[in-house]
Structure 1
Amino acid sequence: MSSEIAIKVENLSKCYQIYDQPRDRLKQFIIPRTQRILGLQPKQYYREFWALSDISFEIKKGETVGVIGRNGSGKSTLLQMICGTLSPTAGSITTLGRIAALLELGAGFNQEFTGRENVYMNASVLGLSNNEIDTRFDEIAAFADIGEFIEQPVKTYSSGMYARLAFSIAINVDPEILIVDEALAVGDTRFVAKCMRRIKDIQARGASILFVSHDVGSVRTLCERAIWLDKGSLVEQGDVFPVTGRFTEYMFSDEKSEQDALHDVLTDLYKEPPLQADATLTGGQATADSSTTATSSASIQAPAEYLPALDARPVTHWGSHKGIILTATIRDEQGAAKDIFAWGEALNILVEVNVPKDISREHLSVAFSIKDLKGTDLIVSTTHDFEFRRLPDKERFGVSFELTNPLVTGKYLLVAAVENRQHRDIHYYEYVEGAHYFASLANERLFGLFQPSIEQQILV
């Protein structure tokens, strides 16, 4: 294995034997052996369940990779085999470097031992000497922040205290490979933020990180690449943004069967056709006296040849009625669509749609968001926010959103969506992530993600 590779997985498979009744396990232990001795074909008393099937990938040193997939997709089984707590049925795993893992709450903890005793036991398993643990114990206890409970048996701990202590041990042994399996799902917001900062510190030191989470936002924030598993099979691996985008698209494809939804996503992966706007609907000027304005197609007069279509390279594109969104662009005060905007410049986000009459307007909403290239939502607005605006009964109309550009220098993308907001779980008629790509430029040196206009006063 190359010295640049931290983890190499080749043709990995894991099969479990499923017994319908307890006595079938005893039968399987005795009867097939007897049948083989007698020269008979041995009978099988179990069903095979393949938790993983023929998985292969590599993770380079210093790389952070997210593992995504629904419950039961094989994520935890994969991580347990990489850590060595499970043996594969077929295939091989090669790792290079000290591994620290958080596979589940309290994995490896002795319930009767105190927190202190478990720190020494777990850290020694991870390769630290007693002297090294002595040196780091105060730092481990301070990060866990469980106070006097460090001297109490861990069977008295809450789930959050388990997570705190387990995470603190794992990150304080200087791992070369850190494996985190949903460990951040438990704990208060303050502790999760502290964990995320420490993971980024470990990243900066050049460690390889394998991160499992159902939170696509966290995966996009931390990871460079993503591995998508489904029912034990590798669906896709690659750059984190498109892979997580297609996974999200698959998860939202609730109007179709699972097989059809996955087929559509994979078809888009290998052939994403350009999205074309309807040439009969042309660009329009937004009304300036409202932050959100709906306009009918009759008021849109610009020549058809100037109509910018949706970008032909959306990251993801799904929905029960794909084709409703005709255009989604960001324009300046003169109504010109551009790819570069200055900080503080007036922005007009125009979404033009063609909504069939059979879709009720009662809970219909048009929305946009601006994301960074990691996929983090920076600005989100919908016609359903604040004072609800009922959208026109006409099929074709446009919605204009106006704001002053608060984005610091960087690259961004526009998301456009048409939604049904009747229930808490939003139904998407159409969702286009990457309808328009653009950059923001600021002459000033600004920090943070975005910078609104702020009035300053010096009081003496």
Structure 2
Amino acid sequence: MPALMEMNQPDRPETTIKVNHASKRFDIYETPLDRLKHIVFPRRTGYAREFWALRDVSLSVTRGETVGIIGRNGSGKSTLLQIICGTLRPTAGDIAINGRVAALLELGAGFNVEFSGRENVYLNAAMLGMTAAQIERKFASIEKFAEIGDFIDQPVKTYSSGMYVRLAFAVAIHVDPAVLIIDEALAVGDARFQAKCFNKIKELKESGVTILFVSHDVGSVRTLCERAIWLDGGRVRMEGNAFAVTAQYTQFMSEGLGEGEPIGVSRQSADGATALEEDAKESVRPVASIAGDEPINHWGTHVGSIVSAQVLDSSRQQQSVFAAFEPMIVRFVIHVPEGIDRRALSVAFSIKDTKGTDLIVRTTYDEKSIDFDCDGSEIEIEFCLRNQLNAGRYLLVAALEDRSGAVPQYYEYIEGACYFSSHVQSGRYGLFLPDITEKLCMEEMPLDKQ
């Protein structure tokens, strides 16, 4: 029988969320009359068809871990979060939670729109297990963080979406949660408030709060999360390092779906396996560790077009360590695919940190610097720059693009074509080492004023 239970296992106190083979089925009715017939005659079949939003999902999250959950619309992300929160019960499987869960799910959940913001703060915090005295002590801090001014005493139905999220997030982070769940809600906030929220999330993370973060923004997932889980068709398609999982997910979304394939629906094959499972066997390749020397991601319509991609020093020797401000050469050897429109061909590179953040990006298409409409199938290209990266480990992304459309299509894309480190002798803050000169400017004062 499915269960939602408090976890009190002394041998594994570090685990805050444990999901064991969770599945969730919904009955889909063609008409309201079919629903009524099913209620009146529950033992009869044929009134509804089954839809499995989740199938056999298992995961474990430890204390202080930040885990990203990604996937297309309809992949089961929100259903999984609602089961973890306890607002839905699984059809099968067990959920174990250790500690208080605070959640920011879809906009509109959790508050009574007829109540004022103040009343909803007390109601919501009380539902999460706080006493009136505890809420009273924290109310001023909640009000200050939300920054909604006099609207705190106005009905929530008068709030904008941004004001709603401000108050909901302020409550969630002040109830001392063991688990904080965020489901895309921060996307409606302004840039300043989003930055404020991300800083607070990092503080909670450092204090040991477990965070589940659902977002379509791959950059945010890579910045906040060590680990990511990719859901597709209600199943876990991939789980692991956030950079690696989001790389595979980005590839999947870039390549697009088959013609006529509806999002979030699995096709059933003759042997009973879903098409999503079959696709996963073919398209999700083994992924290397970031600490290794293999590509994190490698795909495209013409794999093999990039013959080599290297980062060289001024003597054109490949190096694994570059000193600050040392000359660098990003060198590609490209085999141009046959039959393509060379006028739309572009060679691109980016340098990323180990979280997957693009730090330096350059394409021949944007700069219109090279004409590929020439004889010969093999071309050598060099991009020259100086190393102005702060100390750390970096990777090279190499791409051969078709820029004939509004969105680039990839003949080949290699994320992690090679790796290198930047060595800086003195400790510096920031990501880059820009050219900055310093001088002391003192205006001579008139003698009568000295």
What is the TM-score normalised by the length of structure 1? 0.86
CA distance in structure 1 between the aligned counterparts of 2:220 and 2:439, rounded to whole angstroms? 37
Aligned 8 A contact 2:67 2:212 in 1: yes
CA, structure 1 residues 89+423, in 2 after alignment: closer, same or farther (shift >3 Å)?
Answer: same
Which string of whole-angstrom CA distances, capped at 9 and with x for unpartnered residues, describes residues 214-256 of structure 1? 0111111100111111010111111111111111111122386
Residue matched to 2:281: 263
Q: Does the alignment pair 1:14 with 2:24?
A: yes
- Return closer, same or farther for 1:424/1:188 CA change in 2, 3 Å cut-off: farther
Aligned equivalents of 1:174 and 1:43: distance in 2? Answer: 47
In structure 2, the residue matched to 1:37 is: none
Q: Which residue of 1 aligns with 2:193?
A: 191
CA contact (8 A) 1:255 1:320 kept: no
Amino acid at match of 1:87: R
Cα RMSD after superposing both structures: 1.7
Q: What is the match of residue 5 of structure 2? A: none
| Greater mean alpha carbon deviation, residues 394-403 or residues 52-61 | 394-403
Cα distance 1:8–1:417, how it changes in 2: closer, same or farther (>3 A)?
same
**What are the superposed Cα offsets for residues 386-430 of structure 1, whole Å, 9 maximum, x if unpaired?**
445332433210221111101111111000011122333221121
State the alpha-carbon separation in 1 of the partners of residues 401 and 416 from structure 2: 17
TM-score, normalisation: structure 2: 0.88
Matched residue SS, 2:370: coil
Question: Where does residue 54 of structure 1 map in the other structure?
Answer: 56
Q: What residue number does 2:122 align with? A: 120
User: Which residue of the partner structure matches residue 427 of structure 2?
Assistant: 445
Residues 237, 280 of structure 2: 8 Å contact kept: no
User: SS in structure 1 opposite 2:107?
Assistant: coil
Give the whole-Å Cα distance in 2 for the aligned partners of 1:94 and 1:141: 32
Q: Tell me, yes or no, if the aligned pair for 1:32 and 1:44 is still in contact at 8 Å.
A: no
Counterpart amino acid of 2:440?
I
Letter of the 2:230 counterpart: W
Residue number in structure 2 paired with 1:383: 364
Which of 200, 207, 225 in structure 2 is aligned with 1:223?
A: 225
Residue matched to 2:349? 368
The structural deviation recorded for 1:261 is 5.4
1:174 to 173, 176, 181: 176
2:333 is matched with 352
CA distance in 2 between partners of 1:398 and 1:175 (Å): 56
CA distance in 1, matches of 2:155, 2:406: 42
Q: Give unpaired runs (5+ residues) of structure 1.
A: 34-41, 273-310
Name the CA distance, whole Å, in 1 between partners of 2:117 and 2:417. Answer: 52
- Counterpart in 2 of 1:160? 162
> CA 1:101 to 1:261, structure 2 compared with 1: closer, same or farther past 3 Å?
same
Which ranges of structure 2 fall in alignment gaps of 5 or more residues?
1-8, 262-274, 443-450
- Whether the aligned pair in 2 keeps the contact of 1:249 and 1:265 (CA below 8 Å) is no
Q: How far does residue 43 in structure 1 lie from its aligned partner after superposition?
A: 2.8
Q: Do the aligned residues in 2 keep the contact of 1:52 with 1:78 (CA within 8 Å)?
A: yes
Shift of the 256–406 alpha-carbon distance from structure 1 to 2, 3 Å rule, reads farther
Q: Answer whether contact 2:391 2:424 (CA < 8 A) is retained.
A: yes
Q: Are 1:343 and 2:324 matched, yes or no?
A: yes
Partner of 1:295: none
Measure the CA separation in 2 of the matches of 1:21 and 1:100.
36
Alignment match, 1:405: 387
- Which residue of the partner structure matches residue 203 of structure 1? 205
Aligned with 1:430 (options 371, 393, 412): 412
Secondary structure (helix, strand or coil) at the match of 1:112 reads coil
In 1, Cα distance between equivalents of 2:280 and 2:64: 31
Paired residue type of 1:269: P
Give the letter aligned to residue 356 of structure 1: P
Q: What whole-Å deviation, never above 9, does each CA across 1:348-387 have from its counterpart, x for those lacking one?
A: 0012111123111222211100111111111111112244
The partner residue of 2:253 within 251, 254, 262 is 251
Q: Distance in 1 between matches of 2:406 and 2:168?
A: 35
Q: Is the 8 A contact 1:343 1:408 kept in 2?
A: yes
Structure 2 CA distance for aligned equivalents of residues 152 and 30 of structure 1:
43
C-alpha distance 348-261 of structure 1, shift in aligned 2 (>3 A): farther
Runs of 4+ in 1 over 6 A off after TM superposition: none
Q: Report the secondary structure of 2:286's partner residue.
A: helix
Residues 172-191 of structure 1 deviation map (CA, whole Å, 9 limit, x = unaligned): 11211110101221111111
CA distance in 1, matches of 2:371, 2:168: 51
Which string of whole-angstrom CA distances, capped at 9 and with x for unpartnered residues, describes residues 256-277 of structure 1?
Answer: 67757533333x227x8xxxxx
Equivalent position SS for 1:169: helix
For residues 239 and 280 of structure 2, the distance between their equivalents in structure 1, rounded to whole angstroms, comes to: 15
Provide the secondary structure at the position in 2 that maps to 1:362: helix
Query: Are 2:293 and 2:418, in contact at CA under 8 Å, matched by a contact in 1?
Result: no
Is contact 1:327-1:353 (8 Å) kept?
A: yes
